[in-house]
C-alpha cells in the first residue's frame, strides 16, 4: 500500500522523540498502517529504534516489550522460557486463532496488536487470559498501568489518550504456572475465528474464562473454582456485546461461545479427576 499522505519519518531514540507533531503517529511493526490508506497521517515515528528489550524475566513475572514481534515472543516462549511457566503454551494457539497471520509474525508486534484493539486481536486474548497489565507512558513524562482487558474498550478502540504510548505488557508470576486452554470456531475453514474462548486454572483452583472475537471487547469471567456447567453457560451468554458481521451473527456467536467454554470447562474437570 502506498501511503501517499505521509511526508516524514522519524526514528525515535529517546522518550522526548515521542512528542508528536500534528499528523504524526507512532509506529511499531507497521503491518496495519501499511495495509490501507491513512488519510489523516502525515508522519511516522518509529518505536522499534528505542531499543526496548523483547522479554524480561523478574521476580514479579514476565515483561514483554511493546515492540517485541509476535514471532520473537513465540520463539522465546517455546525455547527459552522457564519450564514451569506452563501458561505460555497459550501464546501460539492464540496467535493461530485470531487476526495475526504467520506471514506477518516477524514484523507485527505484540504492542501493536493490542493497540489496534481488534475484536480478533491475537495478543489481546493471550494477555487478557493471563491477567497482563499494560505499562503506558503518558505525554507529560509519567506512566500509568491498566489491565490489558480494560485497555481495549471497543472493537478497534482503546482507552489510550492522545500522546500516550504503550511501553510494555507485564504478566504476573502467579498466572504463569497455570493450566490453560483455547477453543475456537470459524465459519470458513481458513477464515478468521468468529469466536474464541481461552481459559486458565490456577494452582489454587480458581479459574478465568475469556471470550474474544465474538464480542467487541474481551469478556473476562472469574471464578473461585472451576464453575459448574450452568454457571459458566449463564456467565458467557450474559454478555451484551456479541456482534454481527460477515463472519457470523451475534446469536451464533453467543451460542458457540457457550459451547466452546463448556468444552474447556469439561476438559479441566477431567484433568482434575485424573
Report the SS3 class of residue 64: strand
**Fold observed for domain 50-174:** 3.30.465
- In sequence order, the 6+-apart residues with CB closer than 8 A to the CB of 93 are 182, 184
- Average pLDDT over the chain reads 95
CATH 3.40.50.300: does it fit domain 177-273? no
- Per-residue pLDDT tens over the stretch 114-160: 999 999 899 999 999 999 999 999 999 999 999 999 999 999 999 99
- In sequence order, the 6+-apart residues with CB closer than 8 A to the CB of 104 are 29, 31, 70
- Per-residue pLDDT tens over the stretch 202-233: 999 999 999 999 999 999 999 999 999 999 99
Q: What stretches in the chain show pLDDT beneath 70? A: 1, 99-100, 190
Angstrom distance (rounded) from CA 138 to CA 25:
15
Check the CA dihedral 219-223-226-227 and report its sign.
Answer: negative
Burial of 79 (0-12, 13-18, 19+ CB in 10 A): exposed
Is 0.85 topped by the overall pTM?
A: yes
Domain ranges of the chain: 8-49, 50-174, 177-273
50-174 and 177-273: identical CATH topology: no
Amino acid at each position: 500500500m502506498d501511503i501517499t499522505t505521509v511526508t516524514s519519518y522519524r526514528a525515535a531514540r529517546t522518550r522526548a522523540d515521542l512528542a508528536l507533531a500534528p499528523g504524526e503517529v507512532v509506529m511499531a511493526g507497521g503491518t496495519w498502517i501499511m495495509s490501507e490508506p491513512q488519510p489523516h497521517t502525515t508522519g511516522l515515528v518509529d518505536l522499534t529504534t528505542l531499543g526496548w528489550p523483547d522479554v524480561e524475566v523478574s521476580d514479579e513475572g514476565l515483561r514483554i516489550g511493546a515492540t517485541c514481534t509476535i514471532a520473537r515472543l513465540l520463539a522465546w516462549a517455546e525455547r527459552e522460557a522457564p519450564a514451569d511457566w506452563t501458561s505460555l503454551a497459550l501464546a501460539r494457539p492464540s496467535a493461530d486463532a485470531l487476526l495475526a497471520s504467520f506471514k506477518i509474525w516477524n514484523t507485527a508486534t505484540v504492542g501493536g496488536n493490542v493497540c489496534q484493539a481488534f475484536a480478533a486481536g491475537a495478543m489481546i486474548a493471550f494477555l487478557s487470559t493471563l491477567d497482563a497489565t499494560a505499562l503506558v507512558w503518558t505525554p507529560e513524562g509519567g506512566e500509568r498501568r491498566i489491565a490489558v482487558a480494560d485497555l481495549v474498550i471497543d472493537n478497534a478502540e482503546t482507552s489510550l489518550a492522545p500522546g500516550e504510548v504503550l511501553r510494555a505488557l507485564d504478566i504476573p508470576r502467579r498466572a504463569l504456572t497455570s493450566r490453560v486452554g483455547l477453543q475456537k470456531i470459524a465459519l470458513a475453514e481458513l477464515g478468521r475465528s468468529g469466536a474464541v474462548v481461552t481459559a486458565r486454572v490456577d494452582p489454587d483452583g480458581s479459574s478465568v474464562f475469556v471470550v474474544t472475537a465474538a464480542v467487541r471487547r474481551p469478556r473476562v469471567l472469574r471464578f473461585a473454582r472451576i464453575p459448574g456447567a450452568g454457571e459458566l453457560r449463564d456467565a458467557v451468554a450474559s454478555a451484551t456485546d456479541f456482534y454481527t458481521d460477515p463472519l457470523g451473527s451475534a446469536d451464533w456467536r453467543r451460542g458457540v461461545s457457550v459451547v466452546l467454554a463448556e468444552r474447556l470447562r469439561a476438559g479441566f474437570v477431567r484433568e482434575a479427576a485424573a
